[in-house]
Amino acid sequence: MSKRCDICGKKAQTGNHRSHALNATKRKFQPNLQRVRTEIDGEVKKIKICTSCLKANKVKKIV
């Protein structure tokens, strides 16, 4: 499964770990994804959505 938001397409970004000696090793910053039941085009689906989209009410959440 890909770690990508189904609404905005946000995905993992790359960067560096930095030690006290400023040594750089590669790392990944993962998006904060949540599995949410939503209503899309009249039918209920489970999608992966990032918390920034969830907070911005970009989907209608089914409780």
pLDDT in tens, 8-49: 999 999 999 999 999 999 999 999 999 999 998 889 999 999
Find, among 2, 20, 22, the residue nearest to 12 by Cα. Answer: 2
Number of domains within the chain: 1
Could you tell me the residue range of the domain that residue 33 belongs to?
A: 13-55
Four-residue CA torsion sign, 20, 22, 26, 31 = positive
Q: How confident is the model at residue 63 (pLDDT cuts 50, 70, 90)?
A: confident
- Beta strands 33-40 and 43-50, pairing class: antiparallel
Is 5 inside a domain boundary? no
Per the CB < 8 A criterion, the answer to whether 33 and 5 are in contact is yes
Report pTM. 0.81
Is 3 inside a domain boundary? no
Enter the tokens of residue 40.
């899309």
Is 25 inside a domain boundary? yes
Is 46 inside a domain boundary? yes
